[in-house]
Amino acid sequence: MKSVQHILSFKVPRPVTVVATSLLISLSLFCAGCASTDSSTEQTFFEKRKALIEKFSAKDKVFSVLRAQVDPKDPESKDYWRWRIDQYMYGQYPEYQAIYDSFKQGKTFHQIYGLSAEDLGSKTPLPQNIPQLPQGYFTENLQGNPHRGWHYVSGDTVYITYQGHLTDPYIASYDLKTHQWQGPLKAAESTLSKGDRKIDSHGRPVIEMDSKGHLHIVYGGHGGEREDGLNPHSIDTPHAGGRMLHVMSEKPYDISSFVYKDDITPFASYTKSYKMGNGDIYLFTRAGTHKSPWVYYKMKSGQQHFEAPVMITWPTPQQDNPINVDTFYINPVKISDTEIAISFLWHECNFNEVHNKLNYGRINAYYMKLVTENGNFYNAQNEVLSLPITLQQANEKTLAFDSTKREETPFGTRPLVLQGETPAVAYEARTKDYSEWRMAAYQNGEWQHSLPMPDTVNRTLHDRDNQEVSNILSLEALGVQNGIHTAVVIYRNKDNKSVFAEATSENGQDWQVTKEHLSLKSVRMQMEAVKNSLNNTVAIVLNLKKGASQRLYLWHQGEFRTPEMN
């Protein structure tokens, strides 16, 4: 098996100069800029292409709408929209795939389309003096708004992966008994933010362990690269950059070396993964950029590769205005050894890549779940859903909260698990005046929305001076010892400082801070619970960001645990 370094050496895109616009083919407006050594082959391709466009255009308005975007005075505009039409037809009508694949054989992207080199934005240089963060972290300074990392617990060992320097995936392991660290080490290479490209947070890695003890990391994706060709799972071109890649540890339980696995689409964006009770691993991802379906990949227990993707959703151009496309953002959460709940919202996008900065076209909140024992998706009414889900079906079968006639926007969603297995969705309600998490729950045969989040009604917190705290950002219960509940909490104090602290309670509702670990001004704090096989929280991964400074910390048994290298 080849090493990561060997495999990725030819994956990283090299600068390509734009070839001159070549032979103009009169058969189609979109033949300008094509380069070929065999004009008859090229002519045959464009004849077939034109015939298919005419065939599909009889019922599909998208083709005429995309053609109308061309600026006839700009040759690059012609090639750009020819590319967009090719991708739309390639994903929407698989009949075109063999025709296009034969034509592009041996050609680079810039030999097919006369476009300028891609510009995804340049890096923002770090200031000479960056704010100091407290000691106790286990990462280098994380540039580019990376998230809290992802982790996997095996026995007494926590494996933590995160997006590190230049968006490469890094991994570290920590022993919960001996407090010994290994790493952090760079596990692989990413294409996401190399060269002059800006730092991009979308490459955040996820980690799982297969039934043989090998670690799997999936990382780096934000739409793929132009040289990857057309995406068979999407109607949208790779206009964001960065390949989704999958690596596996060479040895079981060993983070020192990883090898590349070529079994997932390079065009993917966003990842979440879960290992089920039977050892099967489910990887959820969007199969491309904005106007792309969401899929899941399954790695069966005993195997070390992902099977072909299962299409969960499918984007649909709007009938009345086909420049707009209805698609989704989904968020899956494992709720049992056999079930994964999925919350999602409607994302109204468009082929012109114009984004609504007010609410980013994020609308409504939806709920469904996957039962992995039979592979079926169910709504809250326990009806089997047919795949892939489109907006029409989502509105008819899975709508939990309708925001279309309300001021607030559900900017993000996540599934919730309530007592009695009541289906529920948390949604981040945003307006120009506030942003807060609320809940929709399926009660008495219908969805109720604008409910308070679980365990927040009448919950109180008092600080070390016994002053009531009005702004509790997050609270993670740790357990009960001798009748006393313990937790860690992040809150904002009266001096507007962010505080990370321990707290206790006699009833699990009224909390008293017992120890402050951090109290910092102008710092964003986020925490991720590290849970063992019994679903008990055994540690916390804490993310601190202050200006251009950002670090990850591991809190365990009352202390921040730091590798010797730091």
Catalytic option among 110, 151, 202, 449: 202
Q: What confidence category does residue 5 fall into, taking pLDDT thresholds of 50, 70 and 90?
A: very low
Residue 433 domain flag? yes
How far from chain centre, in Å, is Cα 552?
A: 19
Mean pLDDT computed over 140-151 = 84
Q: Give the pLDDT confidence of 502-538 residue by residue, as tens digits.
A: 999 999 999 999 999 999 999 999 999 999 988 899 9
Catalytic option among 93, 165, 253, 270: 270
Structural domain ending residue among the three candidates 454, 482, 514: 454
pLDDT over 90, % of the chain:
80
User: φ, ψ for residue 181 (rounded to 5)?
Assistant: -105, 155
Q: Where are the alpha helices (DSSP H) in 119-215?
A: none
Buried b / exposed e over 310-333, threshold 16 CB at 10 Å, is bebbbbbbeeeebbbbbbbbbbbb
Dist CA 498 CA 519 (whole Å): 6
Does pLDDT of 186 surpass 70?
Answer: yes
Whether the Cβ atoms of residue 322 and residue 315 lie closer than 8 Å to each other: no
- Strand 409-417 relative to strand 423-430, pairing: antiparallel
Q: What confidence category does residue 358 fall into, taking pLDDT thresholds of 50, 70 and 90?
A: low
Residue 77 domain flag? yes
Residue 268 domain flag? no
Residue 385 domain flag? yes
Dist CA 239 CA 80 (whole Å): 11
350: β partners: 324
Does pLDDT of 20 surpass 70?
Answer: no
- Residue range of the domain that includes 69: 29-112
User: How is residue 493 written in tokens?
Assistant: 């104090």
What is the DSSP track for 398-467? TEEE--TTSS-EEEEEEEEE-GGG-EEEEEEEE-SS-EEEEEEEEETTEEEEEEPPTT-TT-EEE-TTSP
Which one has a higher pLDDT value, 52 or 357?
Answer: 52
SS3 at position 549? strand
Q: Which whole-number Å values give the CA distances from 146 to 171, 377, 509, 524, in the listed order?
A: 14, 32, 33, 13
How would you class 288 by CB atoms within 10 Å of its CB: exposed for 0-12, middle for 13-18, buried for 19 or more? buried
202 counts as catalytic: yes
DSSP 396: H
How far from chain centre, in Å, is Cα 314?
A: 17
Residue 371 domain flag? yes
DSSP 391: H
Q: State the chain's maximal CA–CA distance in angstroms.
A: 84
Q: Give the pLDDT confidence of 421-466 residue by residue, as tens digits.
A: 899 999 999 888 888 999 999 999 999 999 999 989 999 999 999 9
Structural domain ending residue among the three candidates 112, 131, 153: 112
170 counts as catalytic: no
Structural domain ending residue among the three candidates 87, 112, 137: 112
SS3 at position 70? coil
Residue 201 domain flag? no
Sign of the dihedral defined by the CA atoms of residues 344, 346, 351, 353, in that order: negative
pTM score of the predicted model: 0.91
User: φ, ψ for residue 104 (rounded to 5)?
Assistant: -85, -5
The H or E element containing residue 397 is helix 391-397
Report the domain count for the chain: 2
3-state helix, strand, coil in the chain (%, to 5): 15, 40, 45
Residue 388 domain flag? yes
Q: Give the pLDDT confidence of 295-346 residue by residue, as tens digits.
A: 999 999 999 999 999 999 999 999 999 999 999 999 999 999 999 999 999 9
Q: Where are the alpha helices (DSSP H) in 220-289?
A: none
Residue 84 domain flag? yes
